[in-house]
């Protein structure tokens, strides 16, 4: 016997049986369309930053995505630097394809010194990156002027993998379902054992730091560390388990963040915890600046990002809500290694927080939608579109003056590596062109 | 050194493709029920996945995002006057695994206010529990329950009239 209620339920549930199978190649076309749209957006995003201490200690930084070989002007507001108020981004005269990197499309960058760096990206014809297109690691030993291909771990571009190197030999690519590690400068890759779900990873000065959840959906986040000499991740017992945002995805959204500078380490998890150590030995709990209420209403940040301008100078960004391309963003600065925080002026609401980097008084926030914003006066005023429509993405400081980034030209879909030696004012670019036109 | 890094066989499975394999066919099938057109259903499902990949690192619940996006795209089609089209175009590139789509579901959903459409789509078609619907829409679980109750009452009345 059936009732009207039963009939309604049956009718509503009947859709479960109706399946429309995808046409051949549908997934690859969808991935390609998504990546072309992404390339068309001027999205500068900063991933991680490290500042060389006293100009001598090699630093590591990680970057994703790239941009143009055009000349651009970078306007500045009141600056802390004697550098000119505008500068250019110029392409080198050589635009011939690089063997093994023809139509290379870098997505992430990591430098261990001013000269030694690594890119992870895909090559022309493998975009859209599918499971069959694992990407290629490119290596430079001259500050990015020339690049040579190395091996690549078996991860696709779909999950926006990121690359981090702790030394010229040891590095990690992560962001997909499984992180991979190399111990020979990127020639060969192996699975990297992680005791749970990897939320965030940074590497610098022979050390690797990771924030790990017991499982992908867990809210508990624990800090792990490893060294190049003893690569297995080990729990940092001095830092208790922290509570992160439950569910969602991690990575660049900043559900959990690590900032490195010299030998100092700081971690920020959700709106719960902040821990810092000047030497990776003595840990102290600081204050998490992300507010738990806005306008009297309880809130939970969707994103929390952290960057270190020096061992004691930190910048935190807290993003609330993410709807219709708009997100409320609050930025806080600390000159006391996280003991006290001061609010900066609010950056524009357009776009969703993705990455942050900090130098001397300079902060760049990258948004996944809406481009990037930059301040050169410690957050007093913000300047949208700092690279004048150049799609620099995931830039970061190697030291107080050297900045590297990956970039892509939305019109030609040509990837490039970009670098600056004067604090992101003048840029030079190494493109990775195809012989004629790059295949989709 | 290799042992310390646990060298293993390579697993190339990626979350996005796994998600596609799991959800594309039911999502496209649901779209077909909504627009009565295989080709349009593929377009909407593909567009929903494209937008999902564009926000891959920001979407907390991909399934809820897919169905919410698809619902918005379906509404766009309805608004463009597509609602009168009931003829089903059999495209050569698709494999129809279900019988001819019945318009009743579409008409029932279309008859609901926008707010109730969302909870019905996410709960019944995306198969999300009440708590997940609440998280996806940013409302309280009690509100979801009330909306589902209201939706069912309206749908029941509509069914009784037909």
pLDDT winner (highest mean) among A66-75, A262-271, B133-142: A262-271
Give domain status of residue B20, yes or no: yes
Determine what percent of chain A is predicted with pLDDT higher than 70: 69
pLDDT score at A81: 29
In this complex, which of A20, A132, A183 lies closest to B29 when CB atoms are compared? A20
Give domain status of residue B106, yes or no: yes
Q: Considering only CB atoms, which chain A residues are within 8 Å of B5?
A: 181, 183, 190-193, 231
DSSP run (H or E) holding A229: none
Dig out the tokens for A402 from the structure: 């050297």
Choice between A264 and A5, residue whose per-residue pLDDT is larger: A264
CA angle A125, A130, A136 (to 5 degrees): 65
Q: Does A19 touch chain B (CB under 8 A)?
A: yes
Give domain status of residue B149, yes or no: yes
Q: Which of A247, A264, A245 is nearest to A255 (CA)?
A: A245
Q: Are A419 and A91 in contact (CB under 8 A)?
A: no
pLDDT score at A167: 94
Given a cut of 50, whether residue A384 has pLDDT beyond it is yes
Mind listing the pLDDT tens digit for each residue in B79-125?
665 434 433 333 233 333 334 334 566 777 777 888 888 888 888 87
Name residues whose C-beta falls within 8 Å of residue B139's C-beta, 6 or more positions apart in sequence: none
pLDDT score at A1: 42
pLDDT score at A392: 62
Q: Does A26 touch chain B (CB under 8 A)?
A: yes
Mean pLDDT (whole number) for A62-83: 26
Mind listing the pLDDT tens digit for each residue in A313-332?
899 998 887 777 778 899 99
Name residues whose C-beta falls within 8 Å of residue B80's C-beta, 6 or more positions apart in sequence: none
CA distance A83 to A403: 15
Which band of pLDDT confidence, cut at 50, 70 and 90, is reported for residue A386?
A: low
Given a cut of 80, whether residue A437 has pLDDT beyond it is no
pLDDT score at B10: 27
pLDDT score at A315: 92
Choice between A359 and B92, residue whose per-residue pLDDT is larger: A359
Full domain range(s) for residue B44: 13-88+99-161
**Residue numbers of A between 152 and 191 with CB closer than 8 Å to B:** 154-156, 158-160, 176-178, 181, 183, 190-191
Least confident of A66-75, A138-147, A168-177, A313-322: A66-75
Is the CB of B25 less than 8 angstroms away from the CB of A155? no
pLDDT score at A293: 86
Give domain status of residue B62, yes or no: yes
Residue A148 bridge partners (DSSP) = A139
Given a cut of 70, whether residue A205 has pLDDT beyond it is yes
| A249 to chain B, closest Cα gap in Å | 6
pLDDT score at A71: 22
Name residues whose C-beta falls within 8 Å of residue A132's C-beta, 6 or more positions apart in sequence: A126, B12
Mean pLDDT (whole number) for A357-368: 80
Q: What is the CATH number of domain A44-431?
A: 2.130.10.10
The domain spans of chain A are 44-431
Which band of pLDDT confidence, cut at 50, 70 and 90, is reported for residue A118?
A: very high
Q: Considering only CB atoms, which chain B residues are within 8 Å of A24?
A: 93
**Locus of tokens 């410690």:** A378
- Nearest chain B residue to A37 by CA distance is B54
Is the CB of A22 less than 8 angstroms away from the CB of B15? no
Given a cut of 60, whether residue A69 has pLDDT beyond it is no
Which band of pLDDT confidence, cut at 50, 70 and 90, is reported for residue A134?
A: low
Name residues whose C-beta falls within 8 Å of residue A360's C-beta, 6 or more positions apart in sequence: A80, A81, A309, A400, A423
Choice between A111 and B162, residue whose per-residue pLDDT is larger: A111
How many alpha carbons lie under 13 Å from residue A369 in its C-beta half-sphere? 17
pLDDT score at B149: 86
Given a cut of 80, whether residue A74 has pLDDT beyond it is no
Mean pLDDT (whole number) for A137-165: 84
Mean pLDDT (whole number) for A245-264: 64
- Nearest chain B residue to A249 by CA distance is B57
Mean pLDDT (whole number) for A12-31: 78
| B76 to chain A, closest Cα gap in Å | 16
Choice between B41 and B105, residue whose per-residue pLDDT is larger: B41
Is the CB of A249 less than 8 angstroms away from the CB of B60? yes
pLDDT score at A4: 53
Dig out the tokens for A18 from the structure: 């109706």
Q: Considering only CB atoms, which chain B residues are within 8 Å of A352?
A: 58
Q: DSSP letters of A364-407?
A: EEEESSS-EEEESSTTSS-EESTTTT--EEEEEESSSS-EEEEE
Q: Are B5 and A168 in contact (CB under 8 A)?
A: no
pLDDT winner (highest mean) among A6-20, A35-49, A84-98: A6-20
Mean pLDDT (whole number) for A279-284: 89
Choice between A388 and A135, residue whose per-residue pLDDT is larger: A135
This prediction has a pTM of: 0.59
Q: Give the ipTM.
A: 0.72
Q: How many domains does chain B have?
A: 1
Dig out the tokens for A281 from the structure: 């030995």
pLDDT score at A393: 64
pLDDT score at A270: 73
Given a cut of 80, whether residue A357 has pLDDT beyond it is yes
Dig out the tokens for B126 from the structure: 């995306």
Given a cut of 80, whether residue A96 has pLDDT beyond it is no
| B100 to chain A, closest Cα gap in Å | 10
Mean pLDDT (whole number) for A25-48: 59
Give domain status of residue B80, yes or no: yes
Q: Considering only CB atoms, which chain A residues are within 8 Å of B45?
A: 20, 22
Burial A108-125 (b: 16+ CB within 10 A, else e): bbbbbbbebbbbbbbbbe
Is the CB of A21 less than 8 angstroms away from the CB of B25? yes
pLDDT winner (highest mean) among A121-125, A244-248, A298-302, B3-7: A298-302
pLDDT score at A266: 94
Dig out the tokens for A122 from the structure: 């895909």
Given a cut of 90, whether residue B145 has pLDDT beyond it is no
Given a cut of 50, whether residue A290 has pLDDT beyond it is yes
Q: Considering only CB atoms, which chain B residues are within 8 Å of A297?
A: none
Given a cut of 80, whether residue A23 has pLDDT beyond it is yes
In this complex, which of B12, B57, B94 lies closest to A253 when CB atoms are compared? B57
Choice between A420 and A86, residue whose per-residue pLDDT is larger: A420
Q: Are B15 and A159 in contact (CB under 8 A)?
A: yes
CATH number of the domain where residue B116 is located = 1.20.140.160
Give domain status of residue B6, yes or no: no
Give domain status of residue B53, yes or no: yes
Mind listing the pLDDT tens digit for each residue in A152-183?
787 766 666 889 999 999 999 987 668 899 99
Mean pLDDT rounded to a whole number for chain A? 73
**Residue numbers of A between 358 and 387 with CB closer than 8 Å to B:** 368
Q: Does A130 touch chain B (CB under 8 A)?
A: yes
pLDDT score at A164: 93
Q: Considering only CB atoms, which chain A residues are within 8 Å of B152?
A: 5, 8
pLDDT score at B83: 39
Determine what percent of chain A is predicted with pLDDT higher than 90: 21
Which band of pLDDT confidence, cut at 50, 70 and 90, is reported for residue A226?
A: very high
Given a cut of 70, whether residue B62 has pLDDT beyond it is yes
Q: Does A32 touch chain B (CB under 8 A)?
A: no
């Amino acid at each position: 016997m059936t009732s009207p209620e039963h009939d309604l339920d049956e009718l509503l549930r009947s859709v479960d049986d109706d399946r429309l199978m995808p046409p051949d190649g549908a997934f690859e076309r969808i991935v390609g369309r998504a990546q072309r749209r992404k390339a068309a957006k001027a999205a500068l995003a900063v991933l991680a930053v490290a500042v060389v201490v006293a100009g001598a200690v090699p630093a590591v930084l990680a970057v994703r995505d790239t941009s143009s070989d055009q000349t651009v002007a970078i306007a500045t507001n009141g600056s802390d630097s004697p550098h000119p108020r505008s500068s250019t981004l110029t392409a080198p005269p050589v635009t011939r394809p690089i063997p093994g990197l023809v139509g290379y499309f870098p997505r992430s960058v990591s430098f261990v010194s001013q000269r030694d760096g690594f890119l992870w990206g895909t090559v022309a014809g493998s975009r859209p990156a599918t499971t069959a297109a694992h990407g290629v690691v490119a290596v430079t030993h001259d500050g990015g002027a020339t690049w040579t291909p190395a091996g690549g771990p078996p991860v696709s571009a779909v999950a926006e993998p990121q690359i981090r190197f702790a030394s010229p030999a040891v590095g990690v690519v992560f962001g997909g379902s499984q992180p991979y590690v190399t111990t020979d400068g990127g020639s060969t890759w192996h699975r990297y054992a992680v005791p749970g779900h990897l939320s965030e990873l940074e590497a610098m000065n022979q050390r690797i730091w990771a924030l790990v959840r017991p499982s992908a959906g867990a809210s508990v986040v624990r800090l792990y560390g490893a060294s190049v000499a003893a690569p297995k991740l080990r729990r940092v017992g001095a830092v208790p388990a922290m509570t992160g945002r439950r569910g969602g995805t991690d990575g660049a959204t900043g559900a959990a963040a690590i900032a490195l500078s010299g030998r100092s380490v700081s971690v920020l998890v959700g709106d719960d915890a902040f821990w810092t150590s000047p030497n990776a030995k003595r840990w102290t709990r600081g204050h998490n600046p992300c507010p738990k209420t806005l306008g009297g209403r309880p809130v939970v940040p969707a994103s929390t990002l952290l960057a270190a301008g020096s061992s004691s100078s930190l910048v935190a960004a807290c993003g609330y809500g993410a709807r219709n391309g708009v997100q409320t963003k609050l930025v806080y600065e600390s000159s006391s290694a996280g003991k006290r925080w001061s609010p900066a002026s609010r950056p524009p609401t357009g776009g969703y927080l993705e990455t942050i980097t900090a130098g001397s008084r300079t902060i760049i926030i990258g948004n996944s939608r809406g481009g990037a914003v930059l301040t050169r006066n410690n957050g007093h005023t913000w300047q949208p579109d700092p690279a004048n429509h150049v799609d620099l993405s995931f830039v970061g400081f190697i030291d107080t003056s050297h900045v590297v980034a990956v970039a892509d030209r939305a019109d030609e879909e040509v990837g490039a590596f970009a670098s600056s030696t004067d604090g992101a004012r003048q840029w030079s670019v190494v493109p990775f062109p195809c012989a004629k036109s790059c295949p989709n | 050194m290799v042992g310390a890094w646990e060298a293993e066989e390579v697993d190339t499975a990626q979350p996005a493709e796994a998600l596609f394999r799991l959800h594309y066919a039911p999502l496209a099938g649901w779209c077909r029920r909504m627009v009565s057109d295989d080709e349009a259903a593929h377009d909407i499902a593909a567009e929903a996945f494209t937008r999902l990949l564009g926000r891959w690192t920001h979407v907390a619940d991909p399934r809820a995002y897919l169905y919410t996006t698809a619902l918005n795209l379906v509404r766009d089609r309805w608004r463009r006057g597509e609602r009168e089209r009931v003829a089903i175009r059999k495209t050569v590139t698709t494999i129809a695994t279900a019988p001819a789509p019945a318009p009743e579901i579409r008409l029932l959903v279309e008859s609901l206010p926008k707010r109730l459409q969302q909870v019905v789509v996410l709960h019944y078609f995306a198969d999300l529990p009440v708590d997940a619907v609440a998280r996806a829409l940013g409302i309280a679980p009690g509100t979801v329950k009330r909306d589902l109750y209201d939706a069912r009452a309206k749908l029941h009345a509509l069914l009784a009239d037909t």
